[in-house]
Amino acid sequence: MGNFGIVLLAALAFLGSSRADLVLNFYAKSCPKAEEIVLDFVKLHIPNAPSLAAALTRMHFHDCFVRGCDASILLNSTTASGNQTEKAAAPNLTIRGFDFIDRVKSLRRGLFQSDAALTTSSTTKAYITQFLKGSLKDFYAEFALAMEKMGRVEVKTDR
């Protein structure tokens, strides 16, 4: 079984043990190309870097196995906050695959179209520019309000 098969088997085993009732094609309506984009990118790059399969699996389980799954392992440290993120913490310095994730994000399509639209859409660009010119205090206040709203959103399942 090739490296891709091992990653697929590990992912299926993890999904099979999940209790969140997630299903394949869950985002078929909201993001129809999500699975295709990820699968194509993985198929293209795993043959060139076979050890990447294990690195991506480790990254996934590190962040999601403990039911956190907040993607905090992907956050870069910033000099503005002075806080060290999980990504930069000593135990995580051996985790690989971040460059792979960054390349997928740089495509600015499919899964990440909504993120890219924040800075390219005429509707949101002015709002983002306002935050860039303002203080972090203003941003954090708005962010806190947004998190409160998001906290009232139910967990998405296939039900």
**Whole-Å CA distances, 50 to 21, 42, 59, 80, 159:** 31, 10, 15, 36, 37
Kindly name the residue from 33, 58, 62, 96 that is annotated as catalytic: 62
Q: Which of 14, 10, 39 is nearest to 111 (CA)?
A: 39
86 is in an annotated binding site: yes
DSSP reduced 3-state for 97? coil
Task: Look up 45 and say whether it is catalytic.
Answer: no
66 is in an annotated binding site: yes
38 is in an annotated binding site: no
63 is in an annotated binding site: yes
70 is in an annotated binding site: yes
DSSP reduced 3-state for 159? coil
Question: Where is the binding site, in residues?
Answer: 63, 66, 68, 70, 72, 86
Residues with catalytic roles: 62
Annotated binding site for Ca(2+): 63, 66, 68, 70, 72, 86
